[in-house]
Amino acid sequence: MGSLGGAVAPYVELFQRIRDSGERVIIDGPCLSACTLVLSLVPNDRICVTRRAILGFHAARSIDAKGRSYAEPEATRVVLKAYPKPVRDWIVRHGGLTSRVLLLRGRELAVMYPACGAVPRSGRRR
C-alpha cells in the first residue's frame, strides 16, 4: 500500500474493511495524509513496513465551496489522539500537526512497526 492521501471518508471505510477482514497491511512507499489513518484503524500487529515506507502527517483541513482550504483544529486533535502512542509521541516531538508535513521513515519508523516478511509468532502471515 502506498497513497498520497485525499478525502478522509474513503480511507476510513477501506481501513475498517481491512480491519474487519483480518488481513495484514504492507506499507510500501508513501502513505501520506488520510492514508496514515491506517495506523488508527488497523491493529498494530497487522501492519508492517518496507524500506520504502514513508508516513506523512499534517493538520486536518477542509475545503469550502469556493475551493479555499481552512484549518480544522478539532479534527486535528481527534486524529492525533487516535494515533498509537509511539506515533503520537513522535509527532509531538517533531512540532505537532501543523500545515507542514512531517515525514516518518527509516529507522524511526522501523522502531515502531516490523519489517514486512517477518511472520508474527502468534499467527500466520497474510
- Mean pLDDT of the 61-72 span: 89
In a domain, 93, yes or no: yes
Beta bridge partners of 103: 56
- Mean pLDDT of the 75-91 span: 96
Residue 8 confidence class, pLDDT cut points 50, 70, 90: confident
Q: What are the pLDDT digits (tens) for 12-25? A: 999 999 999 999 99
pLDDT at 118 over 80: no
- Mean confidence (pLDDT) of the chain: 89
Distance CA 65, CA 109 (A): 37
Distance CA 112, CA 3 (A): 20
What was the pLDDT predicted at 91? 98
pLDDT at 124 over 50: no
In a domain, 126, yes or no: no
In a domain, 124, yes or no: no
Beta strand ranges found along the chain (DSSP E):
25-27, 30-32, 47-49, 54-57, 61-63, 69-71, 102-105
In a domain, 86, yes or no: yes
Distance CA 25, CA 71 (A): 30
What was the pLDDT predicted at 121? 47
Q: Into how many domains does the chain fold?
A: 1
User: Is the separation of the CB atoms in 113 and 47 below 8 Å?
Assistant: yes
Structural domain harbouring 88 = 8-112
Distance CA 61, CA 73 (A): 8
pLDDT at 122 over 80: no
In a domain, 3, yes or no: no
In a domain, 83, yes or no: yes
